[in-house]
């Protein structure tokens, strides 16, 4: 058959069953992804034997990234900067930060990114690769972790602020939205039902949180929107919006998008956090 039941395949099947997907739907997804029927059946049989305890196999995450808000602080000391807490929401878990990124850092990140901009791609969960998406009309690029002084400084600040290991973060992505550019509402986690998800999860597990930071504000438009809860976050330079999702499910109410820029340019930096080290 030339195929074997890998740990990633087992992890994917367990995650689907725990998320409530049926065995027939998993069988169809695996077939569409090119798995041999006998391998698919063996994997399903192996994991289905534990289906009654699926919730115990993949329990809700006990730890999640996020700031310490237990004392309702106005400011959080990140070691090199006092970051303001401007707004919070419990469900979805959303926190808006002020004075998160300095003007110097905003300019430095934009200048370094400008030379490497290209049409933004999205992760393709059918295959595990990347592809153009008509819903996303920005230009962007990725920095490697610690690539320059601005990136390294900001990544350490984020790790301290959100109490999540620096190594669990993807590389910082910089995006430029010109007039008319937008990103239609979407989820940042990787859909467990898609056949390409096991490939994506090999690099660091599931995404669990997002931090969007505004480096340059447009003249009009460009808000970050959360349609399920009627929330809009204005793209004020130096501020950021953080939100987390404890499971890859629409029930987290983390559907969000970037509204069209109506005038000027919007630049943002995005940091996605994974459940384990991102490689």
93 or 32: which leads in pLDDT: 93
- Band (119; pLDDT cuts 50, 70, 90): low
CA distance 120 to 127: 18
Q: What is the pLDDT of residues 200-234, one digit of tens each?
A: 999 999 999 999 999 999 999 999 999 999 999 99
CATH of 75-274, one of 3.40.50.10490, 3.30.1330.10, 1.10.357.10, 2.60.120.620: 2.60.120.620
CA distance 62 to 54: 16
- Band (58; pLDDT cuts 50, 70, 90): very low
């943002």: which residue's tokens?
268
CA distance 191 to 208: 12
Domain boundaries, the chain: 7-57, 75-274
Q: What is the pLDDT of residues 145-166, one digit of tens each?
A: 999 999 999 999 999 999 999 9
Q: For the chain, give the percent of residues with pLDDT over 90.
A: 68
Q: What is the pLDDT of residues 26-37, one digit of tens each?
A: 788 888 888 888
């Amino acid at each position: 058959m030339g195929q074997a039941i890998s740990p990633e395949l087992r992890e994917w099947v367990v995650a689907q069953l725990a998320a409530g997907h049926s065995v027939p739907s998993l069988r169809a997804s695996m077939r569409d992804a090119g798995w041999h029927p006998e391998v698919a059946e063996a994997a399903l049989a192996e994991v289905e034997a534990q289906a009654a305890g699926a919730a115990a196999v993949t329990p809700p995450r006990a730890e999640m990234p996020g700031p310490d808000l237990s004392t309702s602080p106005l400011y959080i000391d990140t070691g090199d900067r006092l970051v303001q807490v401007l707004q919070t929401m419990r469900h979805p878990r959303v926190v808006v930060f002020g004075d998160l990124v300095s003007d110097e850092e905003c300019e430095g990140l934009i200048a370094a990114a400008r030379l490497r901009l290209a049409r933004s791609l999205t992760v393709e969960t059918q295959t595990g690769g990347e592809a153009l998406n008509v819903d996303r009309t920005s230009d962007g690029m990725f920095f490697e972790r610690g690539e320059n002084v601005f990136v390294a400084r900001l990544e350490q600040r984020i790790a301290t602020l959100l109490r999540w290991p620096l190594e669990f973060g993807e590389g910082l992505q910089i995006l430029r939205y010109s007039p008319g550019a937008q990103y239609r509402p979407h989820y940042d986690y990787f859909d467990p039902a898609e056949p390409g998800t096991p490939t994506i999860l090999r690099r660091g597990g599931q995404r669990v949180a997002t931090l969007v930071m505004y480096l340059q504000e447009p003249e009009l438009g460009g808000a970050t929107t959360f349609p399920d809860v009627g929330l809009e976050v204005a793209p004020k330079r130096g501020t950021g919006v953080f939100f987390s999702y404890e499971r890859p499910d629409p029930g987290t109410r983390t559907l969000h998008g970037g509204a069209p820029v109506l005038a000027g340019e919007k630049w943002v930096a995005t940091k996605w956090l994974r459940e384990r080290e991102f490689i």
